[in-house]
A = this chain, B = another copy of it.
């Protein structure tokens, strides 16, 4: 029996590792192909590497190929799978360094190719000084540019998680940073009122945040970037980072006839099976959103790891399912902490929910305790049932991970009314006697009472 894994990052290598735990090398041969030089790394750590907060790239690698080999998992980096023949149970693999292609037989196949950065037409001609931050190679290239060219100004395009984290990394390195966002707010994953708090904080860091601005092209001299052209004029740039999100990397799968869903991600069943002996996991797949009951594409390492683990357990003869996601995410921007779970107001509306929301200002610690700082908590509940649909937090410290309590409440479909009685941890260094979560639940409960009955 032979398992072939396409893609050597979180999802693929988690699958490989779990399959190996279940089945020894005599029962199952495992062979993983990775296009890049690195496997099993934390792409989420790249902005911190660029910013000089953590070392890289080696520190970002959880397990090197040699370690996998010791565990009986053969890993071939710089090997690109260029074709899948499902009927013949074969993949075609090209050695990117040697240039040779060959075919390899599989009994089980894990498709874990990840996602591809979104690049508008203007960004598709490679210009010197324009970078994505998707792979460790991207990170290394950007760092080399920063170290050798020493640009004074940077433009980051896109103010989602990666864009915001990259803007911080670059300003920490002393660059003048402009952050350009097409939408009216940074971090479109939170509601506009919470986004406004984030925008204020970004500007307080000295980042020139420009919302509602569309990029129209790149300006270059001698093939090197000089500025970003926007609908409100050019912005000088010695380096450009594009953070416009990613799309599931499914070209190979589609060519092989594997089913792709409405989000563009591969469709799998509960056990991460695509068809027959083909499995998929990670950023190349779509996942079930437990609250909207819709398929969504949410490229996050935490899901990739879980999905990979589930696929590996099943391949290894065990039984596991991936239960779907609820949209939890946390971000740090210097001392600003932003978190969300469940559905935002807009997402809830799009899913057809009528909602009531409440926003409260509280503090992370008892008001009299040193280090107490403000924290804003928003709660979104279904209008008639009072079921918690989502929550968002913006704070300064000890704020973001509080979202986990909300996440578990969303997961269990608690009502905000039930939440007001929750027994959460209280001590002055950790919370006011009414935890911000409880205050928000109380305020949402009150808001629900004021909603007029439906006609």
Contact = CB atoms under 8 A, between A and B. Distances in A.
A323 interface: yes
A444 interface: no
A430 B405 CA distance: 14
A425 B330 contact: yes
B42 A428 contact: yes
A200 interface: no
A195 to B, nearest CB: 18
Interface in A405-449: 405, 407-409, 411-412, 414, 418, 420-431, 433-435, 437
Contacts of A430: 330, 332, 400-401
A326 B370 contact: no
B403 A323 contact: no
B429 A332 contact: yes
B425 A366 contact: no
A425 B400 contact: yes
B425 A44 contact: no
Interface stretch (A87-95, A218-226, A227-235, A300-308): A300-308
Interface stretch (A52-60, A67-75, A177-185, A208-216): A52-60
A398 interface: yes
A137 to B, nearest CB: 18
A339 interface: yes
Contact of A328 (B323, B408, B424): B424
Contact of A427 (B306, B332, B414, B424): B332
Nearest to A418: B323
Contact of A405 (B303, B324, B408, B414): B408
A341 interface: yes
A167 interface: no
B10 A433 contact: yes
B427 A369 contact: no
Contacts of A163: none
A426 B366 contact: no
A116 interface: no
A289 B368 CA distance: 30
A265 to B, nearest CB: 17
B45 A306 contact: no
B402 A408 contact: no
Copies in the complex: 2
Interface residues of A, number: 64
Given A401-B398, A408-B409, A42 B433 contact: yes
Contacts of A330: 425-427, 430
Interface string A341-378: 10000000000000000000000001011100000000
A10 to B, nearest CB: 7
B42 A366 contact: yes
Contacts of A339: 425
A423 B44 contact: no
Contact of A425 (B42, B48, B329): B329
29 contacts: A10-B433, A42-B433, A45-B366, A45-B368, A45-B369, A53-B369, A54-B369, A60-B368, A302-B424, A323-B421, A324-B421, A326-B423, A328-B426, A329-B425, A330-B425, A330-B426, A332-B429, A339-B425, A400-B427, A400-B430, A404-B404, A404-B425, A404-B437, A405-B407, A407-B422, A407-B424, A408-B414, A409-B412, A411-B423
Interface of A: 10, 42, 44-45, 48, 53-55, 59-60, 300-303, 305-306, 321-332, 339, 341, 366, 368-370, 398, 400-405, 407-409, 411-412, 414, 418, 420-431, 433-435, 437
Query: Which 9 residue pairs across A and B have the least CB separation, nearest first?
Result: A330-B425, A408-B408, A302-B426, A404-B405, A323-B421, A412-B412, A59-B368, A332-B429, A328-B423
